[in-house]
Structure 1
Amino acid sequence: MVIQKNLSIAHAWFEAFNSHNLEKLISLYDDEAKHYSPKLKIRLPETNGLVTGKEALREWWRDAFERLPSLHYKVTSLTANSDRVFMEYIRIVDQEDNMLVAEVLEIKEGFIVASRVYHG
């Protein structure tokens, strides 16, 4: 039951992300959620790749959606257990090479409390 709920959160995450529905995306996260991404570390070096809280997440993704209007993800694999979902997807942006990405969503009480992005 919990595993299915976690998979449904992951599906909702992709739906919100790919439609660039910022508020729906943010609503999936806990108020104090942490997000780590190598792209964050490059774009905002002062963060060392980590942001905390919904407002920081909102600003990060708002910037990404504005800079990269074609940004979307193609899911290749979802693996869930009782407290996390491991997601593999292809990052697709016009005029950029496709990028293979792995991301882990840690989920507690129906909300994402942490997410970590991995890519080369």
Structure 2
Amino acid sequence: MIDQAFAHIFANEWIEAWNSHDLERILAHYAADFEMSSPVIARIAGEPSGILRGREAVGAYWARALQLLPDLRFELISVLAGVNSITLCYHGAQGRLAAEVFHFGPDGKVVRGFAHYGV
């Protein structure tokens, strides 16, 4: 079960990692075999399903995204805790509203992530 303290610590560390543009720091939150789904994956990574599996594949995608968006900064709006998941709502690229759902394994690392963007 995710408690409020864990949810807020994760949220702040995740936002700070992204705002640092330090890929290793970002990836440290994820299990080696995690799965990421995002509509942006199709455009940047060329994967039509919008799903990538494994730290190496997702790391390459995020490295490319950070190159394309050198001024990327996230601003946390809210943190929502579930049973074994957290949803972060934040302003992302160009101030666009975003929400990401993170499912955690028993070791506290993200095993699945789902990104959603305002339309």
TM over 0.5: yes
Cα root mean square deviation, aligned: 1.6
**Who is 1:58 aligned against?**
59
**Who is 2:18 aligned against?**
17
What residue ranges of structure 2 are gaps of 5+ in the alignment? none
Provide the rounded CA distance (Å) in 2 between the counterparts of 1:39 and 1:118.
9
Q: How does 1:15-94 map to 2 (within 5 A)?
A: 15-93=16-94
Instruction: Name the % identity.
Output: 28
Partner secondary structure for residue 59 of structure 2: helix
Q: Which has the higher strand share?
A: 1
**Who is 1:100 aligned against?**
97
What residue ranges of structure 1 are gaps of 5+ in the alignment? none
TM-score, normalised with respect to structure 2: 0.88
How far off is 1:116 after superposition?
A: 0.3
How far off is 1:47 after superposition?
A: 4.3
Letter in 1 for 2:9: S
**Who is 1:113 aligned against?**
111
Paired residues of 1:7 and 1:80 also in contact (CA < 8 A): no
Provide the rounded CA distance (Å) in 2 between the counterparts of 1:2 and 1:46.
32
Letter in 2 for 1:36: S
Identify which range, 37-46 or 63-72, moves more after superposition. 37-46
Provide the rounded CA distance (Å) in 1 between the counterparts of 2:8 and 2:52.
24
**Count of residue pairs brought into register by the alignment:** 116
Structure 1 runs, 4 residues or longer, greater than 4 Å off: none
How far off is 1:91 after superposition?
A: 1.1
